[in-house]
Amino acid sequence: MNLNDIHSPADIKGMSVENLKELSAAMRQALLTKLSATGGHVGPNLGMIEMAVALHYVFDSPVDKIVFDVSHQCYAHKMLTGRMKAFTDPAHYGEVSGFTNPAESAHDFFTIGHTSTGVSLAGGLAKARDMRGDHENIIAVVGDGSLSGGEAFEGLDYAATLGSNFIIIVNDNDMSIAPNEGGLYENLRLLRESDGNAEPNFFKAVGLDYRYVAYGNDVATLVDVFSSVKNIDHPVVLHICTQKGKGYAPAETEREHFHYTGPFDLPTGNPRSMDEREDYTDITADELLKMMAADPTVAAITAGTPGAIGFTPERRKAAGKQFIDVGIAEQEAVALASGMAKGGTKPCFCVVSSFLQRAYDQLSQDVSINNSPISLPIFYGSIYGMNDVTHLGWFDIALVSNIPGFVYLAPTCKEEYIAMLRWSIKQNKYPVAVRVPGGKVVSSRREFPDDYSELNRYEVTQRGKDVAIIAAGSFYGIGEQTAAALKEDGIEATLINPRYLSGLDEPLLTELEADHRVVVTLEDGVLDGGFGEKIARFYGAKPMEVKCYGIKKEFADRYNAAELAAAMRLRPDLIKADILKQLCKL
Amino acid sequence: MNLNDIHSPADIKGMSVENLKELSAAMRQALLTKLSATGGHVGPNLGMIEMAVALHYVFDSPVDKIVFDVSHQCYAHKMLTGRMKAFTDPAHYGEVSGFTNPAESAHDFFTIGHTSTGVSLAGGLAKARDMRGDHENIIAVVGDGSLSGGEAFEGLDYAATLGSNFIIIVNDNDMSIAPNEGGLYENLRLLRESDGNAEPNFFKAVGLDYRYVAYGNDVATLVDVFSSVKNIDHPVVLHICTQKGKGYAPAETEREHFHYTGPFDLPTGNPRSMDEREDYTDITADELLKMMAADPTVAAITAGTPGAIGFTPERRKAAGKQFIDVGIAEQEAVALASGMAKGGTKPCFCVVSSFLQRAYDQLSQDVSINNSPISLPIFYGSIYGMNDVTHLGWFDIALVSNIPGFVYLAPTCKEEYIAMLRWSIKQNKYPVAVRVPGGKVVSSRREFPDDYSELNRYEVTQRGKDVAIIAAGSFYGIGEQTAAALKEDGIEATLINPRYLSGLDEPLLTELEADHRVVVTLEDGVLDGGFGEKIARFYGAKPMEVKCYGIKKEFADRYNAAELAAAMRLRPDLIKADILKQLCKL
């Protein structure tokens, strides 16, 4: 079978079930070859090949509409919908994103990258179809791991009231990114063990029709099941069991590691390269383990992404009950932490910047209005973080620092990060977020204070005149280099590490007015709603000239960080040129 | 029975069940007398009297900890915990808030006002107790209406894994603010009709032990039930049926109206005063009904608060299937709207500013990254909106306008609001939010464009020089009055209606540099992350002086809007004085 002959779902419609099996096998081989070279979401996609084949065999995409929740399990779907070469030809590997993408194909309906949204989005398509008076099938594919997110529940609850065609496929591989956590998963286990017959049944309990499919990697079974629900006149859940990592022994065994991995050696599954450099996830987890050992009320919390914050299975074991995984449920993580802080313990919710967006109201209401002293290390809040459009870490400064009462700290190096992290946990006065620096670990070998409770005191690391550079967090280095470059032209700039993204050091800023004419701000995030604008407003009615550097308010997809920085003039040579020009103008 | 003899739960511990009934009756009478004078959450509280009495009789608050979800059903709890006079003595009526409040009493653990958070917060207290090695009872009280919110589901799902004492009371009065919507409620009905014996059972399905109590307004029953679970060693759901509005015929009948009401005549239940003035909720609903009649693909969506957006039962009936209530589930409302827009219909999600906070990630990911052209009228985004600390409408400018791709419009009067609302629904290019003006309806009798697709074009309503006042939305009137006041001193200011909160009219702002020295911005929201800061950044490196007026970043509770405005110098006379001072300085 030549995969490159398949240009659209039409090309598989005439196949026999035996052909479909061969097709699945060939796709699996191609997928493994590509993923071993590029990395990606290995486990979820290997488990979904037969499902994608059967879906496109039975349904008529894109008239029938398939929505993949989180969509990191859509590779086989992409292979069947005009994008085969991106999986079979190394020269084309880079041409598709790792998520569904309407810009790539009419078979993709949404750009998705956060979990638990698919049922709601597809429910909207179903409702629209009914209002338009049309009759196509609407299909949502959602993984068991995504069901812990509140939005998925809201979506199921509403779906039950639709009263029209809506096929919700629960792809149950008995695994989230890490093992599932939550009472619901006990019910899924019970359903798997009873061939779907047990009571209680979660899906029936939210008002949905329900069918159980034990062999979700058997294409013949799937074709039968999908055919039986095609054009169904009401919402139905198909609870389909698949195997994460199906058909590749290392991925079947090491399911958490192969959820998402870099390039690997195909015969053994070993990583192609081991990055031995320390990173901020290891630094965080090691520091938290030390603090847990010293104080039994310290707890680390994750919302389903332990690996992204350094908590490997070994470290989780070491932490014992002081490590809490609430499942993919950021709202719960934040509110639980607030309750724990009020209950006299020291919760530290470690979270990825992009995913923290799912808990804005909890940060404001459950935490900040209640002044709950939680610790909140925020990872990948940086242009050097994840670069898919759905995972940008650019918005957390505006998100967190504008909530009254929240203290948002921006450490500039490893040593300052550890000092701030430790203080955020030890103190009990404020909710404190710490922006884990982006990019490679920077060691300054400087010593830092162990107390940050006197808020909004910026650190002047170099006192000069005329120009002050306020360089926050990961961009402190750019500030340092800019100051050094200015020195070559005889300009002794003042260099400031603001430390606090959530407030102004008004006495210092006022003091600068005496012998400075230009203030430059640097921040590793979007300018709109960010740190620099607060400085600009402070000096608004004064003669000080303020230039803010950061990222323009826009979405970018799979960008190159260096190119993005240059486009935003976030480079010491460019900033120096701007400063010189500004000084001449004055 | 003299209610004023009850100063703490200790004062009811020795009572007989008969006494407890008398106490409940006396409390109900006092509550009705107060609420008829002050207004408040009538229905929820009347239904909760026996529950509060039995809880405080059986458990030992504040060692045992009771957390009320949403907490607008905590009045009886307040009466029993040292705050009786605020319910029996008109001179003290104003001394308590309408929600739990740790500043009032050690028996209140959180300031809560948004739904669906109680199980998570109480779960945190339970987890903290276990980590501390203590053994008190932790009790969460959550209404059936709150269960549609994703955070409540996340809380239940995690609670099931606690493995220790946690008592979750589901107070089922078969009613949200309006009638419940969602598949889950079919299950609650089934459970009520089967005395809790039916399968499926939602609570068992998320892994929780379950007990059903049919008579939740019978204090003897409740004392027995609570005694039976006191010190239980695992999480349990008590599904307790109560009657919304219990004991007051008008509230038992008109359950939606009496969920929350102003002062009323006790014998009849009629409102003490009828406000006959038009308001923006009526204007919105009437306008949407017109658009629905003309186009069957226009749909209005609410997340459980139809009344707050003008959709009375009569108007809901008129809208038919074009009105969608997803229950209290803002994430679902936003994501569903995105799907509907992509599916070719015209969804309009009408939402209260404070509650929109619960869907930030959906606005960003589900809508804006996908450029779904939804319409989003945002109500009570104003200092003239709701004034409880949990319901402030001050943060939506920073929330919405900093999301790339979102167009956020700020109409200045009724006529401009209608024009913008209509355009937001008719257009299909952008996600468009419209900030419904705060305060009384202002009619300008001016005509406004019917197209806003050329983004970020501000309207110059008066062309002067030296000073430009950019006055957004509800604060346009303050800008107009300030300009008039300046005229008395011979200063012809330029007055600008920016219309767009989400972007800058850079050509206009640049043009102003020619003959203006001071720019003043006015916005009805928090300055941090808001509109004015963008203007300040734009002019940062230029000689223009910028002064931003808006609200300081802080939480305020039950504030007086006029006093707040004055404290922020948001008054024409004060702004004029500032401008004169600034002009002298230059």
pLDDT digits (tens, 9 = 90+) for B34-82: 999 999 999 999 999 999 999 999 999 999 999 999 999 999 999 999 9
Q: Which of A270-279, B279-288, B408-417 has the lowest average pLDDT?
A: A270-279
- Within the 67-126 window of chain B, which residues sit less than 8 Å (CB to CB) from chain A? 102, 109-114, 117, 120-126
Residue linked to tokens 């804006």: B368
Nearest to B58 by CA among B264, B201, B170, B226: B226
Taking CA–CA distances from B545, the nearest residue in chain A reads: A541
Instruction: State the DSSP code for A450.
Output: S
CB burial string B341-373: b at 16+ within 10 A, e below: bbbebbbbbbbbbbbbbbbbbbbbbbbbbbbbb
| Predicted pLDDT at B277 | 86
| Pick among A120, A345, A346, A586 to test the B interface (most B CBs inside 10 A) | A120
Residue linked to tokens 């459950």: A366
Nearest to A438 by CA among A396, A398, A400, A401: A396
Round to whole Å and give the CA distance between B93 and B31: 11
Q: What is the pLDDT of residues B142-199, one digit of tens each?
A: 999 999 999 999 999 999 999 999 999 999 999 888 888 899 999 999 999 999 999 9
Nearest to B404 by CA among A532, A567, A552, A549: A552
Of B128, B537, B548, the CB nearest to A344: B128
- Within the 526-555 window of chain A, which residues sit less than 8 Å (CB to CB) from chain B? 526-530, 532-534, 536-537, 539-542, 545-548, 553-555
Round to whole Å and give the CA distance between B108 and B359: 27
- Tell me the nearest-neighbour CA distance from A191 into chain B, angstroms: 10
Instruction: State the DSSP code for B540.
Output: T
**Side-chain half-sphere exposure of B432, counting CA atoms within 13 A:** 31
| Predicted pLDDT at A564 | 97
Query: A351 and B132 in contact (C-beta within 8 Å)?
Result: no
- Tell me the nearest-neighbour CA distance from B237 into chain A, angstroms: 13
- Within the 181-200 window of chain A, which residues sit less than 8 Å (CB to CB) from chain B? 181-184, 186-187, 199-200
Terminal CA-CA length for chain B: 71
Work out the angle at residue B20's Cα, subtended by the Cα atoms of residues B14 and B26, and round it to the nearest 5 degrees: 125
Bridge partners, B346 (sequence order): B298
Could you write out the DSSP letters of every residue in B461-488? EE--SEEEEEE-GGGHHHHHHHHHHHHH
- Tell me the nearest-neighbour CA distance from A480 into chain B, angstroms: 21
Q: Provide the angle, in degrees to the nearest 10, between the axes of the packed helices B330-342 and A150-159.
A: 60
| Predicted pLDDT at A277 | 86
Q: Is the pLDDT of residue B1 over 90?
A: no
Nearest to A53 by CA among A17, A88, A29, A92: A17
| Pick among A107, A121, A367, A400 to test the B interface (most B CBs inside 10 A) | A121
Q: Burial, B283: exposed, middle or buried (Cβ in 10 Å; 0-12, 13-18, 19+)?
A: middle
Query: B455 and B503 in contact (C-beta within 8 Å)?
Result: yes
Q: How high is the mean pLDDT of chain B?
A: 97
Record the tokens describing residue B480, joined without a space. 């107009």
Can you give the pLDDT of all 586 residues of chain A as single tens digits? 899 999 999 999 999 999 999 999 999 999 999 999 999 999 999 999 999 999 999 999 999 999 999 999 999 999 999 999 999 999 999 999 999 999 999 999 999 999 999 999 999 999 999 999 999 999 999 999 999 999 999 999 999 999 999 999 999 999 888 888 899 999 999 999 999 999 999 999 999 999 999 999 999 999 999 999 999 999 999 999 999 999 999 999 999 999 999 999 999 999 998 777 889 999 999 999 999 999 999 999 999 999 989 999 999 999 999 999 999 999 999 999 999 999 999 999 999 999 999 999 999 999 999 999 999 999 999 999 999 999 999 999 999 999 999 999 999 999 999 999 999 999 999 999 999 999 999 999 999 999 999 999 999 999 999 999 999 999 999 999 999 999 999 999 999 999 999 999 999 999 999 999 999 999 999 999 999 999 999 999 999 999 999 999 999 999 999 999 999 999 999 999 999 999 997 7
Q: Is the pLDDT of residue B343 over 80?
A: yes
Q: Is the pLDDT of residue B126 over 90?
A: yes
Of B125, B347, B527, the CB nearest to A339: B125
**Side-chain half-sphere exposure of B154, counting CA atoms within 13 A:** 36
With CB atoms and an 8 Å threshold, state whether B340 touches A200.
no
How many CB atoms are located within 10 Å of the residue A5 CB?
Answer: 8
Stated length of chain B: 586
Residue percentage of chain B with pLDDT more than 70: 100
Query: B129 and B136 in contact (C-beta within 8 Å)?
Result: yes
Query: A418 and A283 in contact (C-beta within 8 Å)?
Result: yes
With CB atoms and an 8 Å threshold, state whether A205 touches B205.
yes
Nearest to A351 by CA among A329, A318, A321, A319: A329
CA distance to A239, A303, A396, B458, per residue, from B74 (Å): 41, 31, 35, 47
Terminal CA-CA length for chain A: 71
| Mean pLDDT, residues B313-336 | 97
Of A128, A336, A527, the CB nearest to B340: A128
Round to whole Å and give the CA distance between B413 and B439: 11
Q: Is the pLDDT of residue B443 over 80?
A: yes
- Tell me the nearest-neighbour CA distance from A248 into chain B, angstroms: 32
Taking CA–CA distances from A345, the nearest residue in chain B reads: B128
Residue linked to tokens 């402030």: B392
Nearest to A495 by CA among A519, A522, A468: A468
Of B157, B337, B399, the CB nearest to A327: B157
Of A297, A335, A553, the CB nearest to B132: A297
Query: B387 and B99 in contact (C-beta within 8 Å)?
Result: no
- Within the 209-248 window of chain A, which residues sit less than 8 Å (CB to CB) from chain B? none
| Predicted pLDDT at B273 | 86
Record the tokens describing residue B275, joined without a space. 């406000």
Q: What is the pLDDT of residues A500-510, one digit of tens each?
A: 999 999 999 99
- Tell me the nearest-neighbour CA distance from A391 into chain B, angstroms: 9
How many CB atoms are located within 10 Å of the residue B384 CB?
Answer: 18
* Amino acid (one-letter) located at A478: I
> How many separate helices (H) and strands (E) can be counted in chain A?
23, 17
Round to whole Å and give the CA distance between A338 and B62: 18
Work out the angle at residue A514's Cα, subtended by the Cα atoms of residues A508 and A516, and round it to the nearest 5 degrees: 85
| Pick among B158, B326, B330, B349 to test the A interface (most A CBs inside 10 A) | B158
| Predicted pLDDT at A329 | 98
Strands (E), A380-452: 407-409, 432-435
Q: What is the pLDDT of residues A315-359, one digit of tens each?
A: 999 999 999 999 999 999 999 999 999 999 999 999 999 999 999
Residue linked to tokens 């109201």: A361
Record the tokens describing residue A132, joined without a space. 């338009």
| Predicted pLDDT at A458 | 98
Taking CA–CA distances from A327, the nearest residue in chain B reads: B158
| Mean pLDDT, residues B344-354 | 98
Residue percentage of chain B with pLDDT more than 90: 97
Cβ-Cβ contacts under 8 Å, B139 against chain A: none
- Within the 424-463 window of chain B, which residues sit less than 8 Å (CB to CB) from chain A? none
Q: Is the pLDDT of residue B232 over 90?
A: yes
CA distance to A504, B533, B565, per residue, from A538 (Å): 8, 9, 20
| Predicted pLDDT at B175 | 87
| Predicted pLDDT at B585 | 78
Instruction: State the DSSP code for B440.
Output: S
Cis status, amide bond into A44, omega within 30 of 0: no
B127 close to A (CB below 8 A):
yes
Query: A363 and A403 in contact (C-beta within 8 Å)?
Result: yes
- Within the 350-379 window of chain A, which residues sit less than 8 Å (CB to CB) from chain B? 357-358, 360-362, 364-366, 368-370
CA distance to A279, A521, A550, B28, B381, per residue, from B266 (Å): 67, 61, 60, 13, 33
Round to whole Å and give the CA distance between B77 and B98: 11
Nearest to A340 by CA among A283, A306, A290, A296: A296
Cβ contacts of B2 within 8 Å, gap of 6 or more? none
CB burial string A380-410: b at 16+ within 10 A, e below: bbbbbbbbbbbbbbbbbbbbbbbbbbbbbbb
